[in-house]
Amino acid sequence: MGFTDTGLLPLKAASAMAQWVPVGPAAAGSQLSETVIPLADTTVLPLGINTATIPTYGGAAAVAIKGQQAYGIAAASLGMGAQVAIASTNGALGPVVASGIPAIASGVPAAVAAVAARFAVGRALKNAATGDYFPILVDPAQVI
């Protein structure tokens, strides 16, 4: 049987995790090489979305990365094309809204420096109501 490239990044899970949740790398410098953890907030840049249910530590995690399609669970109603980010500690996703703090041409205002970086997971490819599974174009990005 030949090798089939699915395009998914083959990694390991640092813990049990559900399918269709955003994941990120384990802490920098940790002994957990090639290992991902489920993300619970918007302060970490997502690597992608886990595509399989993983029952135990060290289980195989197939991660959809930038440019690939995956699915998410809607934490709130959202429209097609909406930029989505983690909106719940269970990994459910909701629409991203701007902080409302304007940047200025001469640099970053002091108010912005006090705001923590936030990261989106990607864009919704169809409308979704709360609790729906919906397709996402994975496109991790920082939002302000």
What's the confidence (pLDDT) of residue 100? 53
Do 91 and 40 form a contact (C-beta atoms < 8 A)? yes
Instruction: Tell me how many degrees the CA angle 5-11-134 measures, rounded to the nearest 5.
Output: 75
**CB within 8 Å of 107: residues ≥ 6 apart:** none
Residue 135 placed within a domain: yes
Establish if 139 belongs to a structural domain: yes
3-state secondary structure (DSSP) of residue 28:
coil
Is 4 a member of any domain? no
Query: Tell me, what's the pLDDT at 104?
Result: 46
What is the per-residue pLDDT for 116? 67
Residue 1 lies in a domain: no
The whole-number pLDDT of residue 57 equals: 85
Exposure letters 2-21 (e unless 16+ CB within 10 A, then b): eeeeeebbebbbbeebebbb
Asked whether 118 and 142 are in contact (CB, 8 A), the reply is yes
pLDDT at 3: 41
pLDDT confidence of residue 115: 60
Residue-level pLDDT at 105: 43
Domains in the chain: how many in total? Answer: 1
Q: Mean pLDDT in runs of 10 for the chain (144 residues)?
A: 61 90 81 84 91 88 93 94 92 80 49 68 96 96 86
Within-domain flag for 3: no
β-sheet bridge partners, residue 107: 104
Supply the pLDDT for residue 141.
93
pTM recorded for the entire structure: 0.81
**Residue 34 belongs to some domain of the structure:** yes
**Is 40 within a domain?**
yes
- Domain-located, residue 2: no
- How many CB atoms are closer than 10 A to CB 119? 20
Alpha-carbon span 133 to 97, nearest angstrom: 21
User: Which of 48, 63, 59 shows the shortest CA–CA distance to 139?
Assistant: 48
Domain range for residue 69?
9-143
The predicted structure's pLDDT at residue 96: 87
91, 38 contact by CB (below 8 A): yes
